[in-house]
Structure 1
Amino acid sequence: MSSNLGKIDVEVEVKSPVDKFWNGIRDSINLFPKASPNEYKSIEVVEGDGKSVGSVLLIKYTEGFPLVTFSKEKIESIDEANKTLVYSVIDGETLKYYKSFKGTLTVIPKGNGSLVKWCCEFERANDEIPEPQIIKEFAVKNFKNLDAYLIGA
């Protein structure tokens, strides 16, 4: 296994019930820019319907977001029963640093709320590239913002 392969796991507890949060994730095109306006400029569907496997989303980030102005993400698989979504980054600055970048997101019930599990597997372009710590922090913030938005909505 190459030393440039890496993996990050994040778990975030949210107050939203599991169905509500999963639906929020599935409607990321509309909800992410509303829930996190400081991070997202817009999310557009460039291929497919934005929800089914093979769909490609163009995500534009705000000026305040470091290093990355946009990314294209492709939905690789969806398991509605287990509330799991797998996507990969297929374009954008992220790929300057990481040859491959794949995210898996699962929402599971926890008490009255949910536990969001996010895992990303990546291959660094070279040894100098750090672990994508900033992406990890962004993911946590994103889930918390979405949760706050859903509870307030």
Structure 2
Amino acid sequence: MAGEGQEEVVKVVVEDIDEEKRLVTFRAFEGHVVEQYKAFKATVHIENEGENNLVLWTIEYEKQNEDVPDPFSYLQLFLNVTKDIDAHHVNQ
């Protein structure tokens, strides 16, 4: 896995969109992620709690081998996407 601050490339496909449940599931199919993980899927779900919107991420992954670290290095990516979602909703 690339070190912190190094650029990585990943290609994803939108595997599922459920507008009623307000969730989108992405699956990685090419790039640095698939070099480390046999499977890597991320689901983003927007929930309402009163006037607040909560952004919940679920990450499912299978390591290529036991030496591969858990994907904590991707948390900043998910945070950035969450901020983009928030900015989109604020501007609506």
After TM superposition, the score normalised by the length of structure 2 is 0.80
Structure 1: runs of 5+ lacking an equivalent: 1-63
Report matched runs for 1:40-55 at 5 Å: none
SS in 2 for 1:85: strand
Query: Which aligned runs of 4 or more in structure 1 are off by greater than 3 angstroms?
Result: 148-153
Shift of 1:141: 3.2
Correspondence for 1:136: 75
Correspondence for 2:62: 123
In 1, Cα distance between equivalents of 2:40 and 2:7: 16
Across the aligned residues of Structure 1 and Structure 2, the Cα RMSD in angstroms comes to 2.2
Residues 67 and 122 (structure 1), Cα distance of their counterparts in 2 relative to 1, 3 Å cut: farther
Shift of 1:86: 1.2
Shift of 1:130: 0.7
Among 66, 70, 86, the residue aligned to 2:6: 66
| Larger relative contact order, structure 1 or 2 (CA cutoff 8 Å, min sep 6) | 1
Shift of 1:72: 1.3
Task: Tell me which amino acid in the other structure corresponds to 1:103.
Answer: A
> What percent identity do the matched residue pairs reach?
26
| Residue correspondences, number | 89
Shift of 1:96: 0.8
Residue 92 (str. 1) matches residue 92 (str. 2): no
Structure 2: runs of 5+ lacking an equivalent: none
After TM superposition, the score normalised by the length of structure 1 is 0.51
Task: Tell me which amino acid in the other structure corresponds to 1:81.
Answer: E
